[in-house]
Amino acid sequence: MRSPLTAAGPVAGLVTATIMGAAAAQAQDLTVYTYDSFVSDWGPGPQLEAAFEDRCSCDLEFVAAGDGAALLSRIRLEGERTEADVVLGLDTNLTHAARETGLFAEHGLSPELDLPVAWDDAHFLPFDWGYFAFVHEAGFDAPGSFRALAESDASLLIQDPRSSTPGLGLVMWVKAAYGDEAGAIWEGLADNIVTVTPGWSEAYGLFLEGEADMVLSYTTSPAYHLIAEDDPTKAAAPFEEGHYMQVEVAGMLAGTDAPELAQDFLDFMTGPAFQSVIPTTNWMYPAVTPPEGLPEGFDTLIRPEAALLLAPEEAAEIRGAALEEWRAALSR
Amino acid sequence: MAGVAGAVLLPLAAVVWRAGGAGWLSAGDWAAVRFSLTQAALSALLSVALAVPAARALARRRFPGRGALVTLLGAPFILPVVVAVLGLLAVFGQGGLASRALGLFGLPPLSIYGLHGVVLAHVFFNLPLATRLILQGWLTIPAERFRLAATLGLPPGAVFRLLEAPMLRRAVPGALVAIFVICLSSFAVALTLGGGPRATTVELAIYQAFRFEFDLGRAALLSVVQLALAGAAAALAARLALPPAMGAGLDRVTPRWDAARPWLRAQDAAWLALVAAFLLLPLAMIVARGLPGLAEMPPQVWRAAGFSLAVALASTALTLALALPLASRAGEGLAIAAIAVSPLVLGTGLFLILRPVASPGAVALPVTAAVNALMALPFALRVIRPELEAVRADYGRLCLSLGLRGRWFWTRVALPRLRRPLGFATGLTAALSAGDLGVIALFADPERATLPLQMYRLMGAYRMEAAAGAALLLLAMSLALFWVFDRGGHGA
Amino acid sequence: MLELEDLRAGHGDFRLAAEWHLPAGRIAAVIGPSGGGKSTLLDAIAGFLAPEAGRVLWHGRDLGPLAPGERPVAMLFQDNNLFPHLTAAENVALALTPKRRLTAAQRAEVEAALARVGLEGFGARRPAELSGGQQGRVALARVLLQRKPLLLLDEPFSALGPAQRGEMLDLVAELARETGATVLMVSHAPEDARRIADAVVLVAEGRAQAPEPTERLFADPPPALRAYLG
């Protein structure tokens, strides 16, 4: 809040500002920065805002900032002067860098999570997760591994890891599954890749236009078509190496002026009111399965045998080299 | 002029200041510079080379539907990239019309992905713009000159050499630079159709530095490189271009006696058919894809259309206010700089500057309008400046001797004489700002999303059909805006 | 009285010198070979060209500090004397006011001026709808309303045929006599000078010579004029 300077001069203005600042804190505003599609009218945002405001008698404001990476950039640009109390929508590829900023506080919560991997992070708490997967038309005879894919004629649409979350997820997937052989896998895949798009929307749009046999997306993508469009013709290909996970998290800012409220929001986030909204708005798995279970249709999805996920520190450490392997292999 | 310089350079400076300096370019960056230059140069050359015969055909032929075609020429330029790319793929993609036609003859489908695909898409975006810019040039040749040529019995070749070639020497370099610069900072087209990391442009490297490494110094440095390349192109064009020297005519329509020969008619018809097919088929596919989606569009899309309309009108007013005082060589150079600065860096810099004084969400729409105006400015100036210079050359002394100065010069002489270019420039700005996503990611306001943003959100939520409907609405709205303003310039 | 006081003006390598005066109310033809400096002379008097030395005076007043529109000078150019987007009446009205809206009195004045040059009822037409001679008349009507005591003509009628040109020159002379205006007109044709000019200014080889009475000059042409007439 900017201080309204009165005629009495800056001292009086400062006093006014302090009083008004205190008043604002009493009114309990909670500002949550999140990615853009979360707050869109058909995302989870509107329902969750209403549900939380019922519970807290406060004013919850979502502020949208591009995607997860843009979200972190914005927090970094704003630094300690940020208005955010909570940031929702980072993933494990970003949490290391986010932690390094020193801007995040520990959440102090330990809910029971339904994640395929153990979760132990003092700063960030998951709200949903999913597996990356190649999505194809139901009738297509999809390969069952990266090696089989490389040897097949199947054409592929992927996203650029430098500008897209799934794109980076795929690089991490290959790295987590193949380690030092990742470069060779990419060289094998090079002739299958039709093109590399800047974001998920472009690749998925191209796939629906019939530009390729498969597109990098999530195992939950067919659920959207089945549930929202009553269209059972999309499927995800199970890969025997296992599937890399995306775990989406939230954290509270150390500089928040409403720490209790922020913590209350994080507590709400893993509760049933929040979690039951996630599957059919964000089209991801909820971090805590709600009491009524998953919506009908989710039972038709493939459940990978192995869940792959690099720890945030490890992901941050190998990212540069993994990216260079990817670039070198596909630039031939 | 200082205002625009500030609007371009201050954000850049803010990013450098925040970064605490900048380093130097890596080998990968140089590869990106090379690819950016290659694709931008090819795109600009090809767009203009194809635009010249198309513009000539439009200048010397009258046929039913000519007005509609000229209006539709504004369409591709204003489309959001993803919409245009999907439209192009519906024609040139693996499963597109062209590939299916080839399949009938047992030929393999086209592969659009690679440098040629990038250039094809850029030509799709910019050929119409180039055609309009050059057509405008043709219209500045007074009818009296063509009459003179007709009385001398000059053949088409001589008419070209004496009248049209000098006009092209004035019009073409500017058009080349405008297109080169806009392609230079291409990101989504280059990536989507480029086929992989080979097609890394400087703008993508900026993206990477900013989002990934949070290396603001490198982002700013790359942005300066982009600016320098654009500046060099603009300087080169300024050396090649001729000053206006046509002299004024009496605003008569131009019948063309030299072009009445049958084979010239056939040639013009063929060019126009080719260009129209190249432009209209993808547009038709966008319409076809969008029609079923119109019914599925949620009500928020209409609200977003309202916000986009407001942004478009505000941008248009701002562009007009900026374009007239900036219609000089220095002003045009400055405006070129504005589009050469990476939109991402521009947005970040504005964010750093405005953040301490205003909440980014609250200024989202004004910032969008201002940035869109800045982005449209070079094109507005490209159209307005040559004609303003012609007015000054032809009527400057008469105005002086009649004491028509200051606002009287503008209201009684310059603005009425500039009706046509102003109509085109404002139409372009309005349409461009209705369709441009711009630099608003950091300023996004969930309550007041613009139409393109809402369309991207629909896509991000798997709702491709509704998104196609929104894209069609966007296309229709942009075209309507363009048509209204452009018509306004032809009235009376 | 128009006085040129040791005037020197030019552009590039070209220099024109003039040192003479012309009494008010006279019509002087400016003749001489192409490139001799006729237009330079008019530009300097009209204020389009700043003199390098010397002064231009009108009734003893130095015109140097005045902008072209502020000088007691009206001028017609070789072409582009009318704005194509304005009607004949609107073009004429610019002499009175730059405003779009005219008072009833101003409208009457415009109509009267058009009538005076023989264009009654042509006010609503645009230049493209008028013949060359009619365009010249519209420009003259405007000059009439400008009410400037000094009129400079830089061959505005050169595109007209001899008969029409003659008519226009007669009209200029008539209007000048009526208003008492002083006229300086560039011409290529000696018969134009004979037709209406009291005096002739011969401009050749970078010098504008003092005006000489027309009859006397043509009766006994100096070598420069003889060379020009051939």
DSSP H or E segment with residue C94: none
- Token pair of A313 as six digits: 């520190």
Asked if the model's pLDDT at residue B233 lies above 50, the reply is yes
Which residues of A are less than 8 Å from B95 in CB distance? Answer: 209-211
pLDDT of residue B350: 82
Q: Can you tell me the mean pLDDT for C197-205?
A: 90
**Which of B319-323, B360-364, B415-419, C141-145 has the highest average model confidence (pLDDT)?**
C141-145
pLDDT in tens, A37-96: 898 888 899 999 999 999 888 999 998 877 888 888 889 888 888 889 999 999 999 999
Asked if the model's pLDDT at residue B428 lies above 70, the reply is yes
E-strand ranges in A140-242 read: 156-159, 193-197, 214-218, 234-237
- Is residue B203 domain-resident? yes
Which residues of B are less than 8 Å from A65 in CB distance? Answer: 441-442, 444
Could you list the residue range(s) of the whole structural domain that residue B107 is in? 2-247+262-490
pLDDT, averaged across chain C:
90
A240 vs B: CB within 8 A: no
More confident residue, A5 or C199: C199
Asked if the model's pLDDT at residue B408 lies above 80, the reply is yes
- Topology at the third CATH level for domain A10-129+246-286: D-Maltodextrin-Binding Protein; domain 2 (3.40.190)
Of B252, B401, B417, the CB nearest to C46: B401
pLDDT band for position B445 (cuts 50, 70, 90): low
Chains that touch A (3 or more CB pairs under 8 A): B
3-state secondary structure of A34: strand
Chains B and A touch (3+ CB pairs under 8 A): yes
CB A310 within 8 A of CB A246: no
pLDDT of residue C189: 82
N residues, chain C: 230
Record the pTM: 0.79
A contact test, residue of B191, B447, B454 with most A CBs within 10 A = B191
CATH for C1-69+186-230 is 3.40.50.300
Chains that touch B (3 or more CB pairs under 8 A): A, C
Which residues of B are less than 8 Å from A196 in CB distance? Answer: 191, 194-197
pLDDT of residue A106: 95
The interface pTM score, or ipTM, of the predicted complex is 0.82
pLDDT band for position A218 (cuts 50, 70, 90): very high
pLDDT of residue C176: 92
More confident residue, A310 or B148: A310
- Is residue B253 domain-resident? no
Furthest C-alpha separation in chain A: 79
Which residues of C are less than 8 Å from B250 in CB distance? Answer: 84, 127-128
SS3 per residue for B19-62: HCCCCCCCHHHHHHHHHHHHHHHHHHHHHHHHHHHHHHHHHHCC
3-state secondary structure of B112: coil
Per the structure, the count of domains in chain B is 1
Q: Would the CB atoms of C128 and B252 count as touching at under 8 Å?
A: yes
Distance CA C54, CA B36 (A): 59
Least confident of A89-98, A109-118, A233-242, C31-40: C31-40
Asked if the model's pLDDT at residue B144 lies above 80, the reply is no
pLDDT of residue A17: 40
- Token pair of A185 as six digits: 């896998």
More confident residue, B254 or C81: C81
Q: Would the CB atoms of B412 and C68 count as touching at under 8 Å?
A: no
Q: Would the CB atoms of A64 and B446 count as touching at under 8 Å?
A: yes
Note the helical H segments in B64-163: 66-72, 75-78, 81-92, 97-104, 115-139, 143-151, 156-159
3-state secondary structure of C213: strand
Asked if the model's pLDDT at residue B151 lies above 80, the reply is no
pLDDT of residue B45: 95
Residues sharing a CB contact under 8 Å with residue C129, sequence separation 6 or more, in sequence order: none
Distance CA A140, CA B403 (A): 79
Q: Would the CB atoms of C85 and B416 count as touching at under 8 Å?
A: yes
CATH of residue B147's domain is: 1.10.3720.10
Least confident of A24-28, B105-109, B195-199, C138-142: A24-28
Distance CA A68, CA A169 (A): 13
Residue of chain A with shortest Cα separation from B355: A78
pLDDT band for position A5 (cuts 50, 70, 90): very low
Which residues of B are less than 8 Å from C74 in CB distance? Answer: 401
Distance CA C90, CA B492 (A): 15
3-state secondary structure of A151: helix
Q: Can you tell me the mean pLDDT for B415-438?
A: 79
Among A199, A206, A236, A233, which residue's Cα sits nearest to residue A219?
A236
Q: Would the CB atoms of B462 and A283 count as touching at under 8 Å?
A: yes
Distance CA B16, CA B151 (A): 62
Percent of chain A exceeding pLDDT 70 equals: 92
Distance CA A102, CA A144 (A): 42
Distance CA B244, CA B388 (A): 10
Asked if the model's pLDDT at residue A101 lies above 50, the reply is yes
Distance CA B16, CA B216 (A): 7
Q: Would the CB atoms of C69 and B404 count as touching at under 8 Å?
A: yes
Among B455, B458, B419, B420, which residue's Cα sits nearest to residue B434?
B455
- Token pair of B347 as six digits: 């947005």
C129 vs B: CB within 8 A: no
Name the minimum distance, in Å, from the CA of B431 to any CA of chain A. Answer: 23
Chains that touch C (3 or more CB pairs under 8 A): B
pLDDT of residue C34: 83
Distance CA C213, CA C121 (A): 40
Residue of chain C with shortest Cα separation from B412: C98
pLDDT of residue A277: 95
Asked if the model's pLDDT at residue B246 lies above 80, the reply is no
Distance CA A270, CA A275 (A): 6
pLDDT, averaged across chain B:
81
Question: How many Cβ atoms from other residues are within 10 Å of residue A80's Cβ?
Answer: 10
**CA dist B455 → A62, B82, B391 (Å):** 20, 10, 43
Of C67, C70, C83, the CB nearest to B395: C83
A130 vs B: CB within 8 A: no
pLDDT, averaged across chain A:
88
Asked if the model's pLDDT at residue A1 lies above 50, the reply is no
pLDDT band for position B437 (cuts 50, 70, 90): low
Domain ranges of chain C: 1-69+186-230
pLDDT of residue C92: 93
| Helices B464-490 and B81-92, axial angle in degrees (round to 10) | 100
Among C212, C207, C219, which residue's Cα sits nearest to residue C197?
C212
Asked if the model's pLDDT at residue C123 lies above 90, the reply is yes
Interface of C with B in 199-218 (CB under 8 A): none
CB C48 within 8 A of CB C204: no
Of B252, B394, B401, the CB nearest to C68: B401
Asked if the model's pLDDT at residue B348 lies above 90, the reply is no
pLDDT band for position B21 (cuts 50, 70, 90): low
Q: Can you tell me the mean pLDDT for A179-183?
A: 93
Dihedral of CA atoms C108, C110, C116, C119 in degrees, nearest 10, equals -110
- Topology at the third CATH level for domain A130-245+303-330: D-Maltodextrin-Binding Protein; domain 2 (3.40.190)
Name the minimum distance, in Å, from the CA of B247 to any CA of chain C. Answer: 9
Which residues of B are less than 8 Å from A97 in CB distance? Answer: 214
Furthest C-alpha separation in chain B: 73
Among C159, C200, C149, C160, which residue's Cα sits nearest to residue C38?
C200
3-state secondary structure of C229: helix
| One fold for A10-129+246-286 and A130-245+303-330 | yes
| Helices A312-330 and A182-189, axial angle in degrees (round to 10) | 40
